[in-house]
Amino acid sequence: MKIAAITMTYRDYWALSQWYAHYGRHLGPENLFIIAHGADPRVQELCPRASVITVPRDKLDRFDQMRSQLMNNIRAGLLSLYDWVIQTDADELICLDPDQHASFPDLFAQHKAPALFALGLNVAENAGDAEIASNAPALPDRPSAVFTGHYSKAWAASAPVSFARHGLALGPRKLKRKPMVLPRGVYLAHLKFASMEALETVNQVRRDVTQEEARGLPGTAWKKPDQTARNFYIKFEKLEERPWDEAEADAFGKVATDPVRDTSKGILRARSLRFDHRTRIPDRIRSF
């Protein structure tokens, strides 16, 4: 089985290094494709054996829609060469529970669906946590996390379907009957809040984007990223901690059922659920 992974990036160097190391280890770095949104030689330096495709950054109109359309088209092309293509943001790592799935080929061999979803986790740095060593994987040092419906995203495809707004873009007929295939034991670890140091750097890039004179730019989370981060950490510290088995069963049961079928936008996605407890990701998953 041939599997590729793609992402799109702009000056998110710490997250990109995490992405490259994680998917390179599982798929081979020669099967990784990185879309550099703007010329940047550092991308190839950090990911020496990946294929880097540079696209212009002179126009940022319809920022999210443009990037989504571009990635959908590139992924569809790669599916003429690969059986499955994994697509995540640079700060998103798909982790499997090895008690349920030995590898990505093992997982994909169990499914004939055109696309798969994953159960989302916001991985967080706690106050007092040591900084992650340079070039070290983040997850072994960041066990604390909170489940999230918002990041329970579509992440892999075996057919040229379109990803949009964290879900699948579907026509009216398919939207009514298409299942949201979310296998048990598959997690999207969102690393945005896993390193406060890296987040400070990325937040400046987000602010710069919203200062551009363009239509359809990202909203408040990018205009005021520092406030967004503060709000997250304050709330996270106050959350009750529950054992993994209990928290995971609760999150999966709620996220995997009754997905949103947005007829106005033609999107199938998970509900943007928030959970009032945090948990500790088991070692076997963090070391996947």
pLDDT, tens digit, 9 for 90 and up, residues 181-218: 999 999 999 999 999 999 998 888 788 777 766 667 66
SS3 at position 70: helix
249-263 pLDDT, tens digit per residue, is 999 999 999 999 999
Can you give the residue range of the structural domain that contains 233? Answer: 3-286
Cα–Cα distance, 236 to 216 (Å, whole number): 30
CA 40-45-51 angle, 5° bins: 80
β-sheet bridge partners, residue 221: none
Distances (CA, A) of 105 to 26, 29, 78, 81, 85: 10, 16, 17, 16, 11
In the chain, the number of structural domains is 1
User: What is the overall mean pLDDT for the chain?
Assistant: 94
What pLDDT is attached to residue 224?
82
pLDDT tens digits for range 141-184: 999 999 999 999 999 999 999 999 999 999 999 999 999 999 99
Give pLDDT tens digits for 67-102: 999 999 999 999 999 999 999 999 999 999 999 999
Average confidence (pLDDT) over 236-241: 96
Give pLDDT, residue 72: 97
pTM of the entire predicted model:
0.95
pLDDT of amino acid 214: 66
User: For position 156, what pLDDT does the model report?
Assistant: 98
Q: What is the pLDDT of residues 105-119, one digit of tens each?
A: 999 999 999 999 999
